[in-house]
């Protein structure tokens, strides 16, 4: 259980996933059981970056402190450094391979239990595995309130007003800190995302990046193999004057009419 805030300065923890850029060409090795990282550019998970940008708003408007955290090996540190260059105050890397969602949530919960954070921000899901499990499990493990699919958040003292996306609309909620939110586009817009400038990059080199040992937690799932989507079929072009042929193809081949 994490305690309620004791002073006026809100402490925010932003969980950062280290994921392949969506433009990267994906391949697998070892009989399709391992992801091939060669030549792949890694970035901050977009849903996490939206949350980090909102955290920066709280820092600038309300004087909050922002810590970023990641479960990963040393190769994830450039991603953490980018978050520091964007404006986070310090970073924590839990030294472990993120094997599954429960493992990650347990590692994060251990660090949070040893510190005091008022608001924990995590993307609703990472774009590599799209599990969508970590924010909810983390909230349960630390005994905090939880709002998923969060597209709006205001905090006044220990009271938080959140907006979340639901089927067919939005839902307005009011809750109290400590709070875990699962963020996505809408908490800020793409135009609000920040590109680190040279000053931010230079300052990031001097900011503290703490490495902590992983907790002794056994992964609950294993990967049996990966499979790429089937390649797209050939495209058939039909003259706009040949309506009968188009109808024939849609009816007999595509079977959509």
Q: What is the pLDDT of residues 76-87, one digit of tens each?
A: 999 999 999 999
User: What is the distance between the alpha carbons of residues 43 and 49, in angstroms, rounded to a whole number?
Assistant: 9
Give me 148's structure tokens: 């998923």
Whether the per-residue pLDDT at 2 is higher than 60: the answer is no
Total Cβ atoms within 10 A of residue 133:
16
Alpha-carbon distance 50 to 57, whole Å?
A: 11
Predicted confidence at residue 7, as pLDDT, reads: 53
* Distance of alpha carbon 167 from alpha carbon 165, whole angstroms: 7
- The 8-class DSSP code of residue 204 comes to H
Kindly report the pTM of this predicted structure: 0.87
At 7-47, the pLDDT tens digits run 578 999 999 999 999 888 889 999 999 999 999 999 999 99
| List of domains in the chain | 11-229 (3.40.50.620)
- CA–CA separation, 142 vs 105, rounded Å? 10
The three-state secondary structure class of 214 is: coil
pLDDT digits (tens, 9 = 90+) for 175-230: 999 999 999 999 999 999 999 999 999 999 999 999 999 998 888 888 899 998 88
């Amino acid at each position: 259980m994490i305690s309620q805030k004791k002073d006026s300065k809100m402490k925010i923890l932003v969980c950062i996933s280290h994921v392949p850029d969506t433009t990267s060409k994906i391949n697998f090795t070892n009989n399709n059981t391992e992801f091939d990282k060669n030549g792949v550019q890694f970035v901050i998970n977009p849903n996490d970056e939206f949350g980090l940008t909102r955290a920066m708003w709280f820092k600038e408007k309300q004087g909050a402190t922002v810590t970023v955290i990641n479960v990963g090996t040393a190769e994830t540190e450039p991603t953490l450094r980018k978050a520091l260059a964007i404006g986070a105050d310090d970073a924590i890397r839990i030294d472990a391979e993120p094997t599954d969602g429960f493992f990650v949530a347990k590692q994060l919960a251990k660090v949070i239990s040893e510190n005091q954070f008022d608001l924990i921000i995590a993307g609703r899901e990472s774009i590599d595995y799209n599990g969508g499990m970590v924010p909810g499990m983390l909230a349960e493990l630390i005994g905090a309130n939880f709002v998923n699919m969060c597209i709006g958040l205001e905090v006044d003292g220990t009271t938080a007003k959140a907006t979340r996306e639901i089927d067919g609309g939005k839902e307005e909620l009011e809750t109290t800190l400590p709070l875990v939110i699962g963020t996505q586009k809408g908490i800020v817009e793409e135009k609000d995302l920040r590109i680190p400038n040279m000053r931010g990059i230079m300052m990031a080199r001097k900011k503290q990046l703490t490495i902590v040992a992983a907790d002794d937690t056994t992964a609950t799932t294993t990967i049996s193999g990966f499979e790429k989507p089937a390649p797209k079929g050939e495209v058939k072009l039909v003259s706009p004057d040949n309506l009968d042929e188009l109808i024939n193809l849609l009816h007999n081949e595509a079977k959509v009419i």
